[in-house]
Structure 1
Amino acid sequence: MQLRLIDLPRDFTRFDRHNADLTNPLLVDARRRARAMGEARGWTRRVHTDVDRALVILLSGLAPGEKVRYSDMFPALQARWISVERTVQALDHLGLLDDDRQSTFDAYLEHKLDGITPGIRRDVEDWIRTLYAGGPRTRAHSKNTAYGYLNEIKPTLLDWSTRFHHLREITGDDIQKVISSVHGNKRDHTIVVLRSLFDHCKKTGTIFRNPVARLRAGRKHYNLILPLHPERVSMVLDAATSPAARLVVVLAGIHAARNKTTRHVQLDDVDLGNRRLVIADINRPLDDLTYHAVLDWLAYRRDRWPNTANPHLIVNGQTALGHGPVSDSWLSLIVRGLPVTLEQLRVDRQLDEALTHGPDPLHLAAVFGLDQNTAMRYANAARHLLESLAERHTPDGSAGTQGSTTGPSTDRPASSR
């Protein structure tokens, strides 16, 4: 085909449907495939219409081999109130999208690394990108880990940038000066971040000597786990009024599900006939409260999004038109204003299991899929609470001094859940 002499941006805002070439083979094929894609994803009639209008605007004058740039299409679709997100999905599915947007991660790095001297910045950027995306011999970490590490070390990098041009100039005395200014868990976390940075630089050969090679973080100190009062747990269920909020609260408070686990539960994980539920690869029985919460949510989901093809149990207005899970921010939004957080409910449920069935870490690991260190932590907390409760009673069985009445209640019945 004839190559383009000059790659100029397209002005789709001046599109006139009367002059559109609706017989363009590329457009005809795209409209057919987009319609099939929408049916598979459960798109509503309005979304189908919006995407079809967008394809006519963008593809009627497109030549074979060309793609639509995001920066060109966005102004035209936004001016006509056409869904940009669904159009992007369709074009990407058809292989016709040239996504020239700057990623949020790149924008974050550009903002956070501003002010750092170029020599240090190159090594730090390569380190953060490796943390985020992984490398040949490095596993990828979560986005929150990469963001947290950079936020932790940025003040130190800005200080070093006023005195050094490269990380190879950093000595052990400079490291000691940094860690001597922090204490406790923050000190240990700072050592972990510095070790990660300089280990990466040593591995990639950008420094000659690792100034943190002999530093070791101390053992992490956890706060004592205390149980929630049963009345506060009951208040959470009363405050969770929507079907989605009630289901999320039940999964956290009864099955100790983390937010990520809740977001990724599939419809196939729920077996209503046998009253079973798979949470974090553990097949668990469905109690009455969870059973009715699931039924109420499924009825609401069926009425609200009858055509959705999303395989996840929990969906919203955005994910019902696709196949992905709901976001963590949306999950936090629907339970905003509750007396306690989902994390507090999850922790309290695991502690309640240890108090009810005894501080056995093997039992906790089997029930909730905990690693050995976490299971030991809950078992030790339960053992401490049970011993403290026993010390408050006299040998003849009568209650002795109960101490402060404002403390947490540990002698709740086994049926509190």
Structure 2
Amino acid sequence: MTDRTARPRARFLAALAAGTAAVIALSGCTLIEELTATGVDEGGDDGMVLVDESTAPDALGFFEQEIDWQACDASLTAPEDYECATVQAPMDWSAPGERDPIDLFLVKRPADGASQGTLFTNPGGPGASGADFVAMSADYFFSADLRENYDIVGWDPRGVGRSSAVECRDDEGMDDYFYGVPDGADSMTPEEWNEWGVEQAIAFGRDCAMNTGELLGFVDTASTVQDLDLLRALVGDTKLAYFGLSYGTDIGAQYIDRYPERVGRIVLDGATDPTVPMFDVVIDQQQKFGDATRNYLRDCFSSADCPYRSTDVDGAIAEMQAVMDEVDRTLPKNHDGRVLTSGVVQMAITVSMYDSSSWQYLSMAFADWFDSADPQLFFLLSDSYYGRDMDGHYDSNMFEAFAAINCLDYPLITDPDAIRDFHERLE
């Protein structure tokens, strides 16, 4: 049997990155004339065109829509003066008339004063809801000057949330994917776990294809960029004002590249490089998660409540790894019947590294485990990443959209030498 206790620090950090890689590469990746502007508003007061010769003739009808802003319904947590709307976009921008259109859901925070235009925003992901971001955060996230002078609009990109969305499994099926374990798991080798994981990922990808249909092939970021230009035109802005966070910077960067003449005021915060290969993205994430974990532990050692017996980083990492080894041998159950595995512990650690305010909860999770073998906080932290509530309901399709969008945006790497090199770099 393979030695599962050797090189704990290296294996632990590699596990964090491997968990991220598994989320990104779901294996579902393997399944998946000139303008005649009659009736279309061609320009604004400054002469800048809202649509031009690059717009396919059979897409012009989409630019003739009027946004019907209405009060948001009770399913969306938003202040009373916020407005909601749904518009349509081509499913396939390369052949706009050949497939059924898709819906794009928007939320607007109206400007407090005389509006100078619309500021569009995307909070990241991919898969995060821009509509929810504006509904819940615009009043405090954006400055008073911005709120005074701009309508702030968030939209759910194609594949996400209340827009035409990627659908893979129901709540029970998502639980099975994230938390299911195979028969005989307590005696499986790491290689057998990997084989089972690949089988699960392929099955998940097939479910996404079956339940989403042809939309699954059109949720790429390039299509979202064209959607954003449609939205810009529909609000009557000749140039785009945009604020993007994290993955939202990919959308902004691609917009700048595709429509340089339509760029207004754009801010990209936490920029990512969409040209970097996926394996390099994962390696970079490994390094950042590793740095964050070490920072967490150093901070923990300064507290009397730090749960680790060791007072050095490598020793505490070995304790974390020992917990993961132990739960894979014993497969303890949570109070709701779910089985605790190293994957759950890994995700609890990973999600806690995004924000130092979560470090205390990770320490509490390990303290509960060391004191009484109580796994509940590990599950709560993992659930918070996947959007699962206490009743077992997943409140968004962020994970499904995340996987589908990345599968289209990043070329699938199948070369055995490249994969072998990737795993060696993880170690």
TM-score range, shorter chain: under 0.3
After TM superposition, the score normalised by the length of structure 1 is: 0.23
After TM superposition, the score normalised by the length of structure 2 is: 0.23
The structure with the greater share of residues assigned to strand is 2
The structure with the greater share of residues assigned to helix is 1
